[in-house]
Structure 1
Amino acid sequence: MGCPLNLWADSATGVRSARPALAGDRDADVVIVGAGYTGLWTAYYLAKADPSLRIVVLEQETVGFGASGRNGGWCSALFPASARKLAALPGSSRSAAIDMHRAMQDSVNEVGLVSAAEGIDCDYYKGGTIVLARSQAQLARARAEVASAGEWGPGDLRFLERDEVESHVRATKVLGATFTPHCAVIHPGKLVRGLADVVEALGVTIHEHTPVSTIERGRAVTPYGVVRGEVVVRATEGFTPGLAGSGRAVAPVYSLVVATEPLDDATWDRIGLADRPSFSDHRHLIIYGQRTADGRLVFGGRGAPYHFRSRVRPSYDEEPRVFAKLQSTLRSLFALEDVQFTHAWGGALGVPRDWCASVGLEGGFAWAGGYVGDGVSTTNLAGRTLTDLILRRDTPLTRLPWVGHHSRRWEPEPLRWLGINAGLHAMTLADTEERLTGRTSQLARLMSPLLGH
């Protein structure tokens, strides 16, 4: 396609010095495997809470190499499992699910507050999220979602009529929309690099190009040495299957993203998005977009295949068929016939079998992940929660329903490959079904229990 790969890496400011790989065995108090948002937020809050802690972060590539440096830049209050599902978890309740909803909202604000306090210029802007309804079936889903949200929270998800939508964004075929104020847009590359610089200034050691093959009780094993610690944190998300014994913990599913050239003022006057809300629509196959601080449209979605045996490879970041579909979808959404695209990239996110993210600490082994693409703010909540767990503090965060949750393992191959790819294909067919029939998809209804709803 002739596009540079990743806009966020291409436009992150500053020259970063290489961080050395591990050079032999060493001891620490806390060992964190993975230098993405989960690992770095955990290091940040631990170092702030107890500056005497020896914290070592091990990263097999470079800081933010995974989903933290590749995502669509939504810092939202979305959690991958529904409130109804959270309330049904063992030991949970309706009130606990509502507490989780509010904790996610607080996390959106916390990312902005810490970024400002620490001087991380990550283009944070809280403009909310608008999700368009562009067919009768989508319109019915939008109204049902608002009704359900009112049962499980403070009722801050609003339905917008067509004329109200135009004050936020002007897109094609719009019949209505939902809107929530609880989302900010960010520049992911600037956030993850800035956060790494901050934790290093707090005394945390980061070793890049140091792959961890095994996490054992009190140890992380690498080709260059063993790092021992009272607590070892697994913060590897889509790369988790590469760890010994974790091949079925999560499924790495790829999400792909494209970015336009900076658009001129006349085009923005026609599109809207003046308050930079993140945007999507109510189709089944997920799409997501934002207006960047430098005036581009960044637009992503699912549709790339799951790869056999949970393999993650750099070559999988590029799917020309999906890139072309994303470009045509964005052009159609805003009637942008002549827009040029400058970047296209992808990356793996972690999907647990029940679509429910989790965080916990058991016997010196801590973990967080399974965000299903909703990780920018959830990782912040994870970092604060892990800090409380590691420091043995009983707080409202440690009593949230995702703490200590264990998703069952994915099926062995080839069942995993068949099932996940069938599900992805089914969501595409469900959208086609609705476009042809004008009615809510029966296929999507059948698939819903398998997708964590």
Structure 2
Amino acid sequence: MNAAKPTSSTATEGRSPIGGRPALTGDTTADVAIVGAGYTGLWSAYYLSRQRPDLRIIVIEKEHAGFGASGRNGGWCSALLPTPISTLARRHGRDAAIAMQRAMFATVAEVERVTVAEGIDCDLAVGGTLHLARTPTQLTRAVHEAAEAAEFGLADDVRLLSAAEASDRCSATGVLGATFSPHCAAIHPAKLVHGLAALVERLGVTIVEGTSALRLTAHQVITDRGTVTAGHVIRATEGYTHTIPGNRRELAPVYSLMVATPQLDAATWDRIGLRERETFADHRHLIIYGQRTADDRLVFGGRGAPYHFGSAIRPEFDTDARVAAKLRRTLGELFPVLGDVPITHAWGGPLGIARDWHAAVGRDPRRGFYHAGGYVGDGVATSNLAGRTLRDLILGVESELTALPWVGHRSPRWEPEPLRWIGINAALRLVSGADAEEARTGRPSRRAALTSRLLG
């Protein structure tokens, strides 16, 4: 397995000032070079090395393993896709859409299997996911979602709960019903990504940190510390894709922010529910998401932070006092039992959104390297499916995975600035206004339909 290390004896000398792993310090060669040490890159390295232990695999990371969304997400390992199954069916056909969704259901079980088999302790609990309906318009959407699942033969995978059934699982205010899917696990995201990084290193994969990729081709990764020449190159940079020259308009980085409470006592959890550590959201337009952690905190997040001009990503964007305060107010509305419980942690980060909100995996027909991303915040499980698919594509294996409709999908590029800034932030305001309009009128918002047209 030590054959998986780069061939240059000096390639990993020195220490990265960022994460503690060595930085690249010269030209080297490998069979597979992966840019990005998040879930996508590490799952790809894992499945490739398990299938072919002789492969020399190097993972190149600008910061440190797990720096991006992989280490600080909402902890939902779910079967959710950013593209509804009805949209997938219109684009790719009914059978392909069903196959894609069933592959995602199976992926949740696959992540559980690997973490157990490989001894990765990431606080995983398969409690399912609950989307509450707390207004009549939200209930209408819940009924439609369950009916659509049944139409595609997935009635057992997404089902409608009554108000009593939903409240028994999650006792939020004003619950009229919910949709529930058993295909979701709550995890500790940083424990998963750090466990994966340590695992692939034990399998002989080399991870270099503090090394910036400047240009990618089919067989080279040119970095600020040397050039890696490889038989295959994978771009696994998700929300940071735009930082690589030539990729600025591929994926738009949009921030999602989170807050966490202190550990809550048993009496409080008896009032809230989530006994199985179900993840939860509701059917509003502006996404919210939460989970009960293994140490009994309530972690809660949502969208609403602005898109920054030029796809800018900066450390100061990871927190936003206005958004954190709004998240805390929303928590109080959902669970009055929290009273004046403070927020102990607030954080966030960027996620990658394709112009058509369609995740994709495959080989760039123009530039020759492999890629995966555009998960729109649903990447914990999707990245695992991407890693297995990239394994098959690179090894030349035709499989059920390589036949899935996201393989080879090409999303349109985002508009240049300032159109991108204007459009994304206008959509965010429209979505927020749509929820307020529905709360005020009790009817479906026309703003939501306008947002769908604006975002494609």
Per the normalisation by structure 2, the TM-score is 0.94
Q: What amino acid is aligned across from residue 69 of structure 1 in structure 2?
A: G
Higher relative contact order (CA 8 A, sep 6+): 1
Match in the other structure for 2:44: 42
- Quote the offset at 1:169 in angstroms: 1.2
Superposed, which structure 2 residues align to 1:297-336 within 5 Å? Answer: 297-335=298-336, 336=338
1:208-227 alignment, distance < 5 Å: 208-227=209-228
Question: Secondary structure in 2 aligned to 1:377?
Answer: helix
Q: Distance in 1 between matches of 2:406 and 2:454?
A: 19
Report how far residue 338 of structure 1 moved.
2.2
The aligned residue for residue 116 of structure 2 is: 116
Q: Tell me the equivalent position of 1:55.
A: 57
For 2:418, the aligned partner's letter is: P
Q: Cα deviation per residue 1:132-153 (whole Å; 9 max; x = unaligned)?
A: 1111111111111111111124
Give the Cα–Cα distance (whole angstroms) in 2 for the partners of residues 220 and 193 of structure 1: 24
Q: Aligned equivalents of 2:439 and 2:448: distance in 1?
A: 13
In 1: Cα distance, 2:212 partner to 2:377 partner: 23
**Map of 1:269 onto structure 2:** 270
Q: How does 1:52-451 map to 2 (within 5 A)?
A: 52-89=54-91, 92-155=92-155, 156-335=157-336, 336-362=338-364, 364-451=368-455
CA RMSD of aligned residues (A): 1.2
1:332 Cα shift? 1.3
Gaps of 5+ in 1: 1-15
The residue type equivalent to 2:411 in the other structure is S
Report the secondary structure of 1:51's partner residue: coil
Aligned equivalents of 1:167, 1:374: Cα separation in 2: 26
1:86 offset after TM fit, Å?
1.8
Q: 1:21 is matched by which residue type in structure 2?
A: A
Question: Which moved further from structure 2: 143-152 or 238-247?
Answer: 143-152
Verify the 8 A CA contact 2:19 2:210 in the aligned structure 1.
no
Distance 1:166 1:321 in 2: 30
Q: CA deviation at 1:448?
A: 2.0
Tell whether the 8 Å contact from 1:361 to 1:390 is kept in structure 2 after alignment. Answer: no
Secondary structure of 1:122's counterpart equals coil
Amino-acid identity (%): 61
Aligned to 1:12: none
Partner of 1:32: 34
Measure, in 2, the Cα distance between the counterparts of 1:239 and 1:85: 27
Deviation of 1:415 after TM superposition, in Å, equals 0.3
* Deviates further, 146-155 or 404-413: 146-155
User: Are 1:86 and 1:402, in contact at CA under 8 Å, matched by a contact in 2?
Assistant: no
CA positional deviation for 1:22: 0.3
* Partner Cα separation in structure 2 for residue 153 and residue 251 of structure 1: 34
- Counterpart residue type for residue 257 of structure 1: M
Instruction: Please give the secondary structure, in 1, of the residue aligned with 2:256.
Output: strand
Distance between the aligned counterparts of 2:152 and 2:77, measured in 1? Answer: 21
Give the letter aligned to residue 295 of structure 1. Answer: D
SS of match in other structure, 1:389: helix
- In the TM superposition, residue 17 of structure 1 has moved relative to its aligned partner by 7.5
Pairwise CA distance, 1:451: 4.0
| CA distance in 1 between partners of 2:154 and 2:374 (Å) | 26
Alignment length (residue pairs): 435
Distance (whole Å) between structure 1 residues aligned to residue 238 and residue 389 of structure 2: 17
Which SS does the other structure have where 1:273 is aligned?
A: coil
Q: 2-side partners of 1:306 and 1:401: how far apart?
A: 29
| Comparing 67-76 and 213-222, the one that deviates more | 213-222
Range moving further from structure 2, 357-366 or 407-416: 357-366
Match of 1:3 in 2: none
* 2:352 match: secondary structure: strand
Instruction: Give the letter for the 2:422 counterpart.
Output: L
One-letter amino acid of the counterpart of residue 298, structure 2: L
Q: Residue by residue, what CA displacement relative to the aligned partner does 1:328-361 show, whole Å, maximum 9, x if unpaired?
A: 1011101121212111001000000000000002
Structure 2 CA distance for aligned equivalents of residues 149 and 406 of structure 1: 26
Structure-2 separation of matches of 1:290 and 1:407:
31
Code of the residue aligned with 1:351 in structure 2: it is: I
- For the structure 1 residues 353 and 70, does the alpha-carbon distance in structure 2 shift closer, same or farther, using more than 3 Å as the test? same
* Deviation per residue, 1:144-169 (Å, 9 max, x gap): 11111111242121111111112201
Q: Hey, what's the Cα distance between the residues in 1 that align with 2:454 and 2:35?
A: 30
Shift of 1:85: 2.1
* Whole-angstrom distance in 1 between the partners of 2:399 and 2:70: 27
Q: Secondary structure at the match of 2:397?
A: coil
Structure 2: how far apart are the matches of 1:391 and 1:140? Answer: 46
Q: Deviations over 1:4-23 (max 9, x none)?
A: xxxxxxxxxxxx98110001
| Paired residue secondary structure (2:65) | coil
Matches of 1:164 and 1:46 in 2, distance apart?
43
Amino acid paired to 1:240:
T
CA distance in structure 1 between the partners assigned to 2:455 and 2:85 by the alignment: 14
Deviation per residue, 1:75-132 (Å, 9 max, x gap): 000011111222233xx32101100000000111111110000100001110011111
Which residue in 1 is equivalent to 2:13? Answer: none
Partners of 2:97 and 2:415 in 1: CA distance? 28
Kindly provide the amino acid, as one letter, of the partner of residue 124 in structure 2.
Answer: Y
CA distance in 2, matches of 1:49, 1:191: 21
